Structure 1
């Protein structure tokens, strides 16, 4: 990741005094302790994302355990994301005046409680309640995590800090989902949630020890979120994010039944293939910065084209094992690059509103609303048309997002 580039300063605004997005940065490079604090944010991201996506790799075992169809069990993903979309804004407002260090400690405690409850769940209702507890925390976490990282480092390292935090998302795909799938297949799906509870406790203690005090800079009102939505560029990002993520999670939520029933992959290979997807995601997350430094718009369009091409391959050659497996690589790379691109865009757009957390709350709402919509639609598709229909429908939503980016005047204004 380049340490200085045209994309770097724009993540926080052209000037610290006028943007209102971050506190005054230290004049030199961040200390080792600071990077360890940022790493705590990244591992917190890993923990939350692994908690959110764990059912993706264990839909079959969980469905068998609670005696529901795979499509109905997918509501654990849909309900989670829908709850985040509905509560991220209000909960971020309610916690807007809390010191960010202690808020993060509390959020990891919430993640711990939710996963511990899931580890003991024996019914759909109890498991859904456990998922909603975690969902209450993740919406706030996503609204503050990257803003916290940017406040901790000098301005020229803002994009690097953002990529490190969001790297937790990519690594969750590499280790979280595949490892959780492996644990769930070997020891039972309850054990996978128990491991995540333990990791949440570790991050809670880590944040308590190393993350410095960060007084809130948010406006503490829903009005700020409404103002952010009325801002044209942020509203555009909201819709572009909603479309592409709906398509992605329509397909990804049910990638396990797709690989098993369409491609003919044995269940024992699923965790390994999810690992391939995740490794590609790490590469995409940490390599997109150099392309973004040249042009954010071009990098976003290119990433969307690769994502659409992956869906086209799965649709046309999903029953050909080598091609289906190979398509997981560009899919993983392009998906993991999107949060870095889109959140950097959010920070640039938020320069004019002066409230990055309000803008990020909208991004969280769009992102998780799309997960809920995609997972719900995917479940209906799997139960009615079968998993073969997932890829073309997902690709259609992604094409709409690409057309929006290519034609929007807000996107054309991007360097």
Structure 2
């Protein structure tokens, strides 16, 4: 049976196999009872058909399990059920003890696993009918005999218990199958979460590199170019540019160390106002003038939101210097009762919306991760405004 068909039968309520030890136990009990009846003279056991029939029954069980280790297909299951019925009749006819009638309980038991409860009950009624027919043929007026009536009642009780036991076994196997499927799904989900976590971490690291280290490297490059330009014209300006480049390099190193500490779950607090002051002081001077206006209480904000605003300010200043060729940048940060805000505005050349680069994309991703938003207002020769808004997350 194909995996798809097996899965379909499992979902339809059919488990893979009956309980494997039931049949051998019954065969063993019948062998002992039939042999005892024949030896003691309590019954007339015909050993050749009796032993042959039981041997064939055990051989059928072994062959079925070897041929269909997972589940027996419908047609072979029906064929095997009919073959067992014939062998049960033969063994019962050759058994002098009469205990072989218990083998007929295996019909509804096996059918429950292969075809469901309706077929199981139907075969149980068929087995009961065969027992009544056997009494009619062998014991005249059997219904007046206590022994036969007692045997019939015991068979009915055994039939009910057999079907109930099959039902319990079915539910147990079905539950086990559902549990295995759940485990497989959990493993799949865990693998997917691991992949998504790794992807998110790669994105975070790439944003840190772009927004932090990229900002400083841009500043260092421009300052070194300035130093080269003024080397022969204005040594004081060249020296100042080199000093600024050195300071930017130290800031870049500090950013790298900060990122490493963050990866190691550092508990050092982050202060947005101080970080913005350092950023503006470093960026201000030369061809670019940068000013800062900070207001409000940043202690009510989540540290991740504050770092997001800081990275947005870095990106805004870097873009103003590298792309907008601005002469002035205004950084405004505030924390009101509901949100934290950051506005980075410049007087540069601006750009059309379709030309947003990776830096602004990373800025939007950062803001979304902390529930915020980014708005960019720009146009040719109209300057640029980057507006970041993040709701408060009060640290508990």
TM-score of Structure 1 vs Structure 2, range by shorter chain: under 0.3
- Max radius of gyration: which structure? 2
The two structures have a TM-score, normalised by structure 2, of 0.27
Q: Which has the higher strand share?
A: 2
Please state which structure has a larger fraction of its residues in helix.
Answer: 1
